[in-house]
Amino acid sequence: MVLEETVPWYYYSFADFRPFRYKNYLIINLRVPLTTRALNYKYSVLNFVPIALAAPGNNASHYTQLTTDIEAIVYNSNSPQFVVIKRGQKALHDILWVLPESDLLLQSCFVKTCGSVLLDGNLADIKKICGYQLVYKPLPSSVTRLSTANILVNNQQDVTMLCNGETYIERINRSEIQYIVTVGCYCSLRVCP
């Protein structure tokens, strides 16, 4: 076991301590967070947003979507374990988590589960273990930010990119029903239904 928090500020702010005297000694009973070496990492949260994937051939009558109830994965690329937060499950917002006191489960990266294959990013494993569902509804009109510069546009015909305070205007009229637009610095995307 190793000490999880080595910064004194944590103990001044959050620690539960009880001082008492025993004979001529001052004893301080301090509750400290301990962890194993395998879990002694700073973890990141990877949030999942369901995205509708257009059917092949510009067919807007149906689409596919990843079948999972995973809302987020808490992970570190150097750690052999991760935590899955499912939709509707209460996420912890504390600095330290006491997993036995929560309903979250620690999972191994070496066991193939939907969470572990999503972290690996192997599409064949994601399809096999998580699965996709075919949705027999028209592809919804939406705009989703994928990264800082990339935006996924679904089922939108009138899209305009404005740059440098509207000194540069580019109309994006694509025949595809789903496409990615790269938006540069000082640019914004305007979508009109």
Q: What is the pTM of this model?
A: 0.70
The DSSP result for 77-100, as a single string, is TT-SEEEEEETTPPPP-SSS--GG
The DSSP result for 39-62, as a single string, is G-S--EEEE----PEEETTTEEEE
Look at phi and psi of residue 165 and say left if phi exceeds 0, alpha if psi is from -120 to 50, else beta.
Answer: left
Domain range list for the chain: 2-35, 41-140, 141-193
Sign, CA torsion 9/13/16/19? positive
What per-residue confidence (pLDDT) applies to 6?
79
What per-residue confidence (pLDDT) applies to 103?
80
Distance CA 43, CA 80 (A): 12
Residue with tokens 């700073």: 42
Model pLDDT for residues 121-175, shown as the tens digit of each residue: 898 999 999 999 999 999 998 889 888 889 998 888 788 888 887 766 677 767 7
Model pLDDT for residues 22-43, shown as the tens digit of each residue: 999 888 887 777 777 777 788 8
Which DSSP category does 72 fall into? E
| 55 has a pLDDT exceeding 90 | no
Q: Are 158 and 173 in contact (CB under 8 A)?
A: yes
φ, ψ of residue 128 in degrees (nearest 5)? -70, -45
